[in-house]
Chain A
Amino acid sequence: MAHSDLTTRRDSAGETTAVPEPGTGNDARTAGPVPAGMRRVPVVPLLIVSSVALLVSLPAGTMFGPTHISFADVVDVWQARITGGADGSVEDRIVWNIRAPRVILAAIVGGGLAVAGTIVQTLVRNPLADPYLLGVSAGASVGATAVITLGVLAAAGTWAISAGAMIGAVLAAIAVFGITLSQGGLTPLRLVLTGTVLASAFSAMASYLVFRSAEPQMAQGVLFWLLGSLARASWEQLLLPLVVLVAVLVPLVLIRGWLDGLLTGADVAEGLGVPVARLRIVLFVSQAVLVGVMVAVSGAIGFVGLIIPHVARLLVGPLHGRLLPVAAVLGALFLVWVDVAARVLAPPQDIPLSVVTGIVGAPVFLVLLGRRRYRFGGES
């Protein structure tokens, strides 16, 4: 590092004597040392440490709740269950039937939203995009609100809200996709415009459904769902989100070279042999499926899909072979502990997860914003 800094300074000093470059000469920037935000963390140790932390956090997370259960008891329960000898005690039922699925779902949803955020940021080439940008979650909220306030899909029982949200998400994704494609292709600008406009429209529809419902209890139910909760987690609910997360993450890590190419912009990526049009469709569908499923099982949890991809990118850089797995593990780890906080901060009530992520996330994000340079409208 020291050596390259020296050569750098000499080089840029030589350049200042030459013809100045209009609009681009900025020698303070050229000669300065590498800013802290640019240092990369080695990816393999980071993945190992964060994965181990996640594996410890899963049982550890089940200690917390209205009834505190000691770590030793928790370990006993997990050991007994994994080796097949459950004792059916109160601890066993609380830890295994109620908290374990909830903690695992938190990990899956956290990972899923972080991956979705990474995908959307790559798709629209903007590090400030979040997974809810393209309207899928707003569509899901219309579906869920319709279930809560109108009682549609009552036949689906406990799955009704998830089913409603899923249907809403699918319809919204099809609308955004169709309109964007018909207006000139899945370009970043078109996607952001169409997604933002349709998201507003969907939110208005959801608001109207709440407004016309007679019972205030329903409004509260909708609000609670919108802000995100894992309180309804059950073992049967885990399979679909897990399968979707793996089914999206693994192929995207495999085609990481093409995703990296897309970082340079559509024309350049095409010049590097990336099938841009098809890749954009793959990315759109991936984020739609991920967001739809995650929102269906947990509501619209905010900030995870914005901050975690950002933190991951600060740690390991923008190349997707490193970025995607790191975002997935960090997202999982983050949401497990957010959900623990949601359970213990105001017992016996559950705090909606978006409240926790917002309170934790906003200051963290402001610190990150201060550390990093952004370009916006041609200015940095």
Chain B
Amino acid sequence: MNIHLQARGLACGRGRHSVLRDVDLTVPRGGRVALVGPNGSGKSTLLRALTGVDRPHAGEVLLKGRPLASFTARERARQMAVVSQHEAPPADLLVRELVALGRLPHRSPWSSEPVDDHAMAALERLDLAHFADRAVDQLSGGELRRVLLARALAQDVDLLVLDEPTNHLDLRHQHELLATVRDLDVTVIAAIHDLHLAARYLDEVVVLHQGRVHGVGDPEEALSAERVAEVFGVHVARVRHPVTGRLHLLVEPEEVVVDPARAMPG
């Protein structure tokens, strides 16, 4: 297997306290991995360590076999694009200027050539070209999320790291964005709240719980009813869509007691 990103015995957290310990993770080239877990389970923390923003407390991260700590910021930016959850760009920056910042790792800081071709291509890819001349503060939260993804695409790398990419997006754009990401032919690591979206658009699910990796596997395996109940404290019924046959999760806060008398046949 061609390994793209690997974590070995990783412990990480903000400050001195380790939120996560003993994380082993292997992401193959072209793999699409979802990190799921309840609030505070360390999804963002793990992403910060995997992208080299925070130094891990223990263990190491290997990017294409080379320790991530040995990359300069610029080398790293040519390898991976990160879309964080809480970016607040200056209000008066235009969308095309914001997206063109994705070209920074590829040009010398003093080059004056307007490398806007990649930026515009990225905007068009996400159907955002008509926003190009808008100022950032004229975007809704969801539009900004998509613009930030466009900047990551403009970065032109083969590893995308996304922290809650579907936050603030309406239903149609949640699906469109994840479908776009899926079709990109790049390796993807995404922290994601919505288990259904995780199962639908990503190939592998990593469940984080109580400071550890609680389970890894393909969506059907990793998101078993028992594990979801234990980790998230809700009860799911896994049902098939009547037409497509796809897996859907029906969520109930309390355990549903099946009354045999009312059970539907079949």
Contacts and interface: CB of A to CB of B under 8 A. Distances in A.
Interface in A58-79: none
Interface string B164-206: 0000111111000000000000000000000000000000000
Interface in B51-105: 51, 53, 72-78, 80-82, 84, 87-94, 97-98, 101-102, 104-105
B134 A34 contact: yes
Nearest to A259: B109
Contact of B73 (A23, A257, A270, A372): A270
Contact of A273 (B73, B138, B140, B171): B73
Contact of A263 (B72, B93, B143, B155): B93
A349 interface: no
A271 B142 contact: no
Given A25-B140, A271-B77, A257 B134 contact: no
B104 A256 contact: no
Given A4-B133, A257-B111, A274-B104, A317 B93 contact: yes
Contacts of A255: 109-110
B241 interface: no
B239 to A, nearest CB: 22
B91 A273 contact: no
A317 B73 contact: no
B139 interface: yes
A203 B92 CA distance: 35
B130 interface: yes
Interface SS, A side: loop
B53 A313 contact: no
A38 interface: yes
Contacts of A263: 89-90, 93
Instruction: Give the residue among A32, A270, A271 with the most B Cβ atoms within 10 A.
Output: A271
A264 B81 CA distance: 14
A178 interface: no
Nearest to B94: A317
Contacts of A325: none
Interface in A1-60: 1, 4, 7-8, 11-12, 15, 18-27, 29-30, 32, 34, 37-38
Nearest to A254: B110
B52 to A, nearest CB: 8
B101 A18 contact: no
A24 B74 CA distance: 33
A30 B140 contact: yes
A26 B73 contact: no
B126 interface: no
A210 to B, nearest CB: 40
A24 B78 contact: no
Given A18-B172, A265-B88, A267-B53, A258 B72 contact: no
In order of increasing CB-CB distance, the 9 nearest A-B pairs are A24-B141, A273-B77, A18-B170, A273-B105, A273-B74, A257-B109, A254-B110, A271-B82, A255-B109
Interface of B: 51, 53, 72-78, 80-82, 84, 87-94, 97-98, 101-102, 104-105, 107-112, 130-131, 133-135, 137-143, 155, 168-173
